[in-house]
Amino acid sequence: MSTKRVYNSKASPISGGQIKKLHALANAMGWDKEQYRNNLQVQTGKESSLTLTFDQAGSLIDDWERKAVAGGVWKQKLHSPYKPYSKKDHAPYGKKYTDMEGRPGFATGAQCRKIDAMWGQVARAEAGEPRDKALDTFVRNRFGVAGLRMLPMNDVGRVIKALEGMGAQQKSTGGTP
C-alpha cells in the first residue's frame, strides 16, 4: 500500500537526504547517469535534481519508489512520518527519527534523538510506546505542538532546557525517573 507524503513548503529547495534517496533509487533500478537524467527531465522538466523544490523531489521519490518496489529492487518503508516509531519500525534503518531529516523549519532527527534520550532520563513512563506517548503529551502540553515529530526548530532549545531543568530538579530532590 502506498501512502502519499505531505511536504511542508513549495518554496523549499531539495534536501540532501532527498538527493541521496533519488540516487539510491536510480542505482537500485540499474540506471546509469544518462538514464537518471533522462527520467528526471521527462518527469520534472529539470536537468538536475539540484533545481528541484522539496515538494517536486518528494513527488519524484514517491514515483520512483513505486517503480522500484514494483520492479522488486526496493523495499518500501511502511512508516508514516507523523506516527511515533516502534522498535520494530526503526530497527532495520538503524536510528530512531531518521525520517525527520530534511524538513525545513522542524527539529532534525538528531535533535529528536537527543530530546528522546533526555526524556528517558526524567520520564516515569515505561520504555517503548508508553514513553513515546508521554513525550508527545509533554511536548503538546508545554509547547503547543502535536508532538515531538511536529516540533519547530526554534522550540528545540526550549524543550532541551525544560528537560535539563526537570533532570536537575530530580537530582536535587533525590527523585527517581
Would you list the DSSP string of 91-145? Answer: GGGSSTTGGGTT-TTB--HHHHHHHHHHHHHH--SPTTHHHHHHHHHHHHHHH-S
Judgement on whether residues 55 and 95 belong to the same structural domain of the protein: no
Judgement on whether residues 29 and 92 belong to the same structural domain of the protein: no
Phi, psi (5° rounding) for residue 54? -60, -45
Rg (CA), the chain: 19
C-alpha cell at 124: 516515569
Judgement on whether residues 91 and 144 belong to the same structural domain of the protein: yes
Please list the pLDDT of the chain residue by residue as tens digits (177 residues).
445 554 444 467 888 888 888 998 999 899 999 999 999 999 999 999 999 888 888 888 888 888 888 888 888 765 444 344 444 444 444 578 877 777 888 998 889 999 999 998 998 888 778 888 899 999 999 999 988 888 999 999 999 999 999 988 877 776 655
Nearest to 148 by CA among 134, 161, 162: 134
Judgement on whether residues 94 and 148 belong to the same structural domain of the protein: yes
User: Range of 42's domain?
Assistant: 16-70
* The model's pTM: 0.48
Burial of 77 (0-12, 13-18, 19+ CB in 10 A): middle
53 contacts: CB under 8 Å, gap ≥ 6: 10, 11, 12, 13, 14
Judgement on whether residues 139 and 107 belong to the same structural domain of the protein: yes
Judgement on whether residues 65 and 100 belong to the same structural domain of the protein: no
The C-alpha angle 13, 55, 29, rounded to 5 degrees, equals 100
Judgement on whether residues 36 and 92 belong to the same structural domain of the protein: no
Judgement on whether residues 91 and 156 belong to the same structural domain of the protein: yes
Residue 10 lies in a domain: no
Into how many domains does the chain fold?
2
Residue 132 lies in a domain: yes
